[in-house]
Structure 1
Amino acid sequence: MLIPREVAQSIVQETEPIMNKNINFMDEKAKIIASLDKMRIGDFHEGAAKVLETGQTLIISSQETYEGAKAGINLPVRLHEQIVGVIGITGEPEELSQQGALLQKMTEILIKEAYLDEQVELETQARETFVNEWIRNQYQDEKLFATRGWMFGINIYKPRVAVLLELSGFQDYWYDKLGSPLGNVNDEVQMQRYRRNVEKLIHRHFPDYNEHVLIPEGSSRYMILLSVNEHKDPLYQKERVNARVWEIQEALRKTYEQESSAGVGSVCRHPGTMWKSVDEADRALRYASDHHQPLYFYEDLGVESLMYDVPESVRRDFIARKLQPEDLGSIPDWENTLETFYQQKGSIKATSEVLHIHKNTLQYRLKKIKDVTGYDPRDINDSTLLQMALAFHKIT
């Protein structure tokens, strides 16, 4: 393991107050990579070279001369029984023997912690890379890919649904915080810590035996590939997914007062179609977010599932030509009136009951909508255009 310079410098700075001595850290090539004396960084340390060669502690007295070395004690630093560097303390050797042993042990502990952190980070990155290859269908050999999955404890042949969960208001909150005159790097660290804590919270709601997969996606989203029981009927599967996501969202509210929206794709039964469930979850999430819903299933979308394929400029033009929302503003509760009218399948009686208004009031509103737009909400042909324009209006 090559010791990163920032890790070595951190060790030097953290141990110096305890030792009250100048401390140097030398790498596997006997070069000083960390020191309180910045002028010495990069210098060759002959004493460290001797330690690397023999594996033994080297004491240098003031009468001895080693290139790049001063009087003091130099000790090997081991990780898994291998010497990975040398730690040196400058000073009178007879004063440093006990301090040196303590420093050696502290350094080896810190090196081991850094190594474990690096291994966890590398494993996390490898896992995320694997999942991204999976959901983008970018692998060539399915057998090899399945073998890689087993290494991570992931069975790619297990039926799953994709869930995309987004933290509501996250982007705006942190943009304002980091972009303010008082924003600093500590705010960035705080944001990353918050994201990690949310990830851990979500993990806690996954039994290990279910092999659910979770990875962050962007700054405010998390992608969950939930395994489903293939022996149960679709309604049961949907209810279990709904319960699982609701449980996570409720935990976010209680723990962090964090609202969220989630979209759920269809069940994927073959690894090569995982991308499709993810794409569907994205569409369902966008709809849920646009309509301020906590959760939406792709299968429950109607024409809305196609809406996000239409460029925004085309949507806005269609809205302006067919709906004319600015002119409709003079009609009380026009948007809710239209939406409820179509939800009630055009029934005047049912719509007026839901809206708690008289049937004549509803009839008046519908007539005014026709006068403004030129399209009659009660006409089957006109209603198709109005429903599409209304759907565009709600997501644009």
Structure 2
Amino acid sequence: MEIKREDTKLTDIFELPKDEALKTFYERMITIPITAIESLKQELTTMVGEERSKGIFIRYGWHNGVSDGQTAKTFQWESERDLINAGPELHMLHGYLDYVRIDDIDYDEAGDLASIDVSWFNSFEVEKFLKSENYSEEPICHTLCGYASGYLSTVLERPILVKETKCRAMGYDHCEVVCIPMEKWGDELENEYHYYQSTSMIQELDEVTAKLKVERDHLNKTYEIHRRLIKELLSKQGLQRIVNVLYQSTGRPIFIENEDHKLMAKSDEVTVDFDLEDLNTDTTNFIKLSEDTGLLRTPIYLEQQIKGYCTFLFENGSTPNNLEYMIIDQASITSSIILLNENIKINTEQNIRRGFLSDILDGRMDQEELYKTAYYLNFNPNDSYWMLTIERENENPDMSRKIEVNEALINHINSLLRERYINAIVSQKSGKIIVLIDHASFKEVYVNQLRFIKQLIKDCSRRFSKQAFYAGVSSCVQTIDQVPALYDETLAALKARNPNEKVHYFEDLGIESLLFQIPDETLINRFVDKQVGELLEVDKNDDLIQTFYAYVENGVNINNTAKAISMSISGLRYRLSKISETLDIDLDDTKSVFSVYMALNVLKAKGRISI
């Protein structure tokens, strides 16, 4: 007897024996052993991977669920609840599960379905998995989830996404799932929904092939640029040629700067009108300056320290692609090698020059050898030279730290002088920085010597903060073999150092300059104390000192001195008598007067008294 579906209640089907229920619900069925499904799953996992295999079985279950949902709706049913309850029955009818329990059906305030909580017992997918005697880290009932989602989506006529929250394969007593309308899933939807999307492996292979072709083209172009960069490197070309090659190859404006953010090379189109000091980065990074402008920057490393940056400029809202990231990394490596070569060359040259200056100062070379070496090092022996000795207040008594800072200071000063094309030797001696300058090269660049020295000290103070620098400046000699005298002059100028002044000229010293050339400064201090120590004790306002100084400056003539300081003759005689008594000297004794005058000049040079 043929049963008409439209006359049969859906709920009555599940009261029938299993074989009769199957014949009533399905026109024809085939059976598939669990072992065959498990073998298929293993083969698919091997062929297409675990993620893709999971998606296949979810969609396989989905199509089964959709088919059953369409069939269920052809029977008589009274409410949505009848259709929902039929799902678990069909699950068990197929043999997917031993038992299904609907734990809760929740509706929101508007009466709309919010979620369905279901428990599954003895899933066929779990049963086969547990025979391996291992637990899974994730739920594995993919076919069942797909079936439930397909069935509910069909009978409720809205997309329902089913997610397994607990699985017996993970060690739980039974499996639990939650069924929620797709629009109510929120952010979790993206992680699960893609398994329900059917994708073509051929299409994906085409996409992968296209990506591989792009990557191949990128590698080919990167290799070609790398080959050109190596060619320029081997030809010992500088950074500007590297910049030119990169601009010709990419069309991107590019510039290279040093660690102090001064441009070393750039393409013609580059105008840097933004502050680079705020754009430091220790990795390749794209930095947006505005909606229209961005910088792809990468550091240039040398001896594990950042010694500069290589930067592509992007305008009109453009952004870098993978190829440009690869190219700028190549540019950084090439620039690093160039800087390393230049650094080795400069250090070698500096060490030779420093050795040469040390030999001159210590008198280890005869004139013939000195002149020959000077020509070799590009110093004309018959040119004029002057010297600068820089002393810094060292707050750290650690000698190794002092030497380390001095070496860094030498490199910095060398860099500044090279940038200004000044031919010079920079070295250190007795903890001080000494700079021998070829006056001819200096005259071509600078007119005002004091301005140059102050700027040099300012740069050093900026580079080495929290340290005070003082400079002693020598006179100018006409031949290089007179250099040792220049060093002595700079030391004399520094010994007469006024703490309120940064630059001290030897030529500003008077006859007292002879005293400042005494190596032991203790002897100078003892001389000054012996000559004027008692006068300093009693003369708190320096009135007697000013009077004595004016008296000597006016040729020890009372009348001229009185006019010069606008004082009466009697008042002047009283002061001179006071001075003579305090110092216990005869003011008519030229030798004694000169000694006191020398001592006052030393104090004046050091800034301890003001005349």
State the TM-score bracket (shorter-chain normalisation).
Answer: 0.5 to 0.7
Is 1:217 the counterpart of 2:442? The answer is no
Q: Which residue of 2 aligns with 1:171?
A: 393
Please tell me the residue identity of whatever aligns with 1:370: S
Contact 1:128 1:215 in 2 (8 A): yes
Q: Superposition pairs for residues 82-231 of structure 1, below 5 Å?
A: 110-140=336-366, 142=368, 145-158=370-383, 160-166=384-390, 170-172=392-394, 175=395, 178=396, 196-201=411-416, 212-218=423-429, 221-227=433-439
Cα gap change, 1:252 to 1:367, in 2 (>3 Å): farther
* Alignment partners' CA distance in 2, 1:332 and 1:153: 55
Please tell me the residue identity of whatever aligns with 1:273: Q
TM-score by length of 2: 0.36
* Alignment partners' CA distance in 2, 1:278 and 1:112: 36
The more displaced of 309-318 and 102-111 is 102-111
Cα gap change, 1:188 to 1:272, in 2 (>3 Å): closer
Give a deviation string over 1:183-231, Cα, whole Å, max 9, x none.
Answer: xx9x9988866665455445666x65xxx424143565342334369xx
* Alignment partners' CA distance in 1, 2:598 and 2:524: 10
Give a deviation string over 1:134-192, Cα, whole Å, max 9, x none.
Answer: 333322472x544433333211232x24322435xx315xx1xx579xxxx9x998886
Contact 2:389 2:472 in 1 (8 A): yes
* Alignment partners' CA distance in 1, 2:375 and 2:508: 31
Aligned to 1:324, what secondary structure does the other structure show?
A: helix
**Alpha-carbon distance, 1:314 to partner:** 4.4
Contact 2:494 2:504 in 1 (8 A): yes
* Alignment partners' CA distance in 2, 1:383 and 1:106: 70
Cα gap change, 1:268 to 1:199, in 2 (>3 Å): same
Aligned mate of 1:245, from 444, 449, 452 = 449
Aligned to 1:364, what secondary structure does the other structure show?
A: helix
Across the aligned residues of Structure 1 and Structure 2, the Cα RMSD in angstroms comes to 5.1
Contact 1:323 1:389 in 2 (8 A): yes
Q: Which residue of 1 aligns with 2:514?
A: 305
Give a deviation string over 1:372-392, Cα, whole Å, max 9, x none.
Answer: 111134542431332344456
* Alignment partners' CA distance in 2, 1:336 and 1:202: 43
Please tell me the residue identity of whatever aligns with 2:393: Q
Is 1:329 the counterpart of 2:554? The answer is no
Q: Which residue of 1 aligns with 2:596?
A: 386
* Alignment partners' CA distance in 1, 2:517 and 2:565: 29
Is 1:283 the counterpart of 2:492? The answer is yes
Gaps of 5+ in 1: 1-77, 82-98, 230-238
Give a deviation string over 1:233-274, Cα, whole Å, max 9, x none.
Answer: xxxxxx99x9642231343477669874433235243x4333
Q: Superposition pairs for residues 338-377 of structure 1, below 5 Å?
A: 338-348=548-558, 350-351=560-561, 360-377=570-587
Please tell me the residue identity of whatever aligns with 2:455: A
Q: Which residue of 1 aligns with 2:481?
A: 272
Contact 2:382 2:478 in 1 (8 A): no
Please tell me the residue identity of whatever aligns with 1:373: L
Contact 1:262 1:296 in 2 (8 A): yes
Q: Which residue of 1 aligns with 2:53?
A: none
Aligned to 1:365, what secondary structure does the other structure show?
A: helix
**Alpha-carbon distance, 1:293 to partner:** 8.2
* Alignment partners' CA distance in 1, 2:591 and 2:333: 78
Cα gap change, 1:261 to 1:341, in 2 (>3 Å): farther
Cα gap change, 1:153 to 1:279, in 2 (>3 Å): same
Tell me the number of residue pairs that the alignment of Structure 1 and Structure 2 aligns: 279
Contact 1:213 1:226 in 2 (8 A): yes
Cα gap change, 1:194 to 1:273, in 2 (>3 Å): closer
Give a deviation string over 1:74-129, Cα, whole Å, max 9, x none.
Answer: xxxx8849xxxxxxxxxxxxxxxxx9999888656544432332222222222222
* Alignment partners' CA distance in 2, 1:358 and 1:107: 81
Gaps of 5+ in 2: 1-229, 236-324, 463-467
Cα gap change, 1:116 to 1:227, in 2 (>3 Å): closer
Please tell me the residue identity of whatever aligns with 1:296: Y
Please tell me the residue identity of whatever aligns with 2:379: I
* Alignment partners' CA distance in 2, 1:136 and 1:274: 11
**Alpha-carbon distance, 1:354 to partner:** 5.5
* Alignment partners' CA distance in 2, 1:384 and 1:204: 48
**Alpha-carbon distance, 1:371 to partner:** 1.2
* Alignment partners' CA distance in 2, 1:338 and 1:202: 46
* Alignment partners' CA distance in 1, 2:416 and 2:572: 48
* Alignment partners' CA distance in 1, 2:327 and 2:438: 51
Cα gap change, 1:345 to 1:136, in 2 (>3 Å): same
* Alignment partners' CA distance in 1, 2:419 and 2:498: 25
**Alpha-carbon distance, 1:339 to partner:** 3.0
Please tell me the residue identity of whatever aligns with 1:116: E
TM-score by length of 1: 0.52
Give a deviation string over 1:282-311, Cα, whole Å, max 9, x none.
Answer: 334433558958443459632531454274
Contact 1:266 1:299 in 2 (8 A): no
Contact 1:377 1:386 in 2 (8 A): no
Contact 1:375 1:386 in 2 (8 A): no
Contact 1:135 1:275 in 2 (8 A): yes
* Alignment partners' CA distance in 1, 2:575 and 2:438: 45
Cα gap change, 1:349 to 1:134, in 2 (>3 Å): same
* Alignment partners' CA distance in 2, 1:261 and 1:357: 40
The more displaced of 290-299 and 242-251 is 290-299
Aligned to 1:155, what secondary structure does the other structure show?
A: coil
Cα gap change, 1:303 to 1:193, in 2 (>3 Å): closer
* Alignment partners' CA distance in 2, 1:266 and 1:128: 20
